[in-house]
Amino acid sequence: MSELNQDLLADIHEINLSYLMLAQRLLRDDYATGMARLGFDEDVASLILELSPAQLVRLASSGSVICGFRMNDYELLSALTRDVLGGILQQAHSAILLAQQATRAPIGSQATQASQAAQPAGQAV
């Protein structure tokens, strides 16, 4: 097994730390909107918000990247990279698909949740 270059390792730590700090800033600025931007659910959001700087640093100094790629789905990514109309709509498309990711069913449990998602959600309005 080859040792990872120290520079690369430092870069990973940096990405981790800035991701966690950005998440905290977004949540502090506007909790609900921040959750929407990050794609967090309520438990994770409140936990991240409470982390102390020392905890952040400890969490960040792992050898692997801690933030996940949110488009980790072949179908989704290929739909997004398909060139339609010169790519004007790509931003809109990714916004729609990312926002719906959490509300809609992950592949596999589609049968139960798809019917739920089809129902109007805005009952409180």
Partner 1 sequence: MSRKSVAQEAEEILLASDMIRLGARLQVLQTETSLSYDRLARLYREIRKASPPKGMLPYSVDWFMTWLPNIHATMFYSHFQFLNTHTPSTGTRALIDGYRLYLEQANAGRPESTDSEPVLSFTRAWMLLRFFDSNMLQLSDCTRCGGGFVAHAYEPKADFICAICQPPPRAGKTRARAAKKTRRVANTV
Query: Could you say which of 4, 8, 47, 84 contacts partner 1 (CB under 8 A)?
Result: 84
Contact 60, 23 (CB under 8 A): no
DSSP secondary-structure letter at 124? T
How many other C-beta atoms lie within 10 A of the C-beta of residue 64? Answer: 6
Query: Could you say which of 1, 52, 72, 85 contacts partner 1 (CB under 8 A)?
Result: 85
3-state DSSP assignment of residue 88: coil
Assess 10 for contact with partner 1 (CB under 8 A). Answer: no
Round to whole Å and give the CA distance between 13 and 117.
38
Query: Could you say which of 30, 58, 67, 111 contacts partner 1 (CB under 8 A)?
Result: 30
- Interface positions with partner 1 (CB under 8 A): 30-33, 35-37, 41-42, 45, 75-76, 79-80, 82, 84-85, 88-89, 91-93, 95-97, 99-100, 102-104, 114, 117-118, 120-125
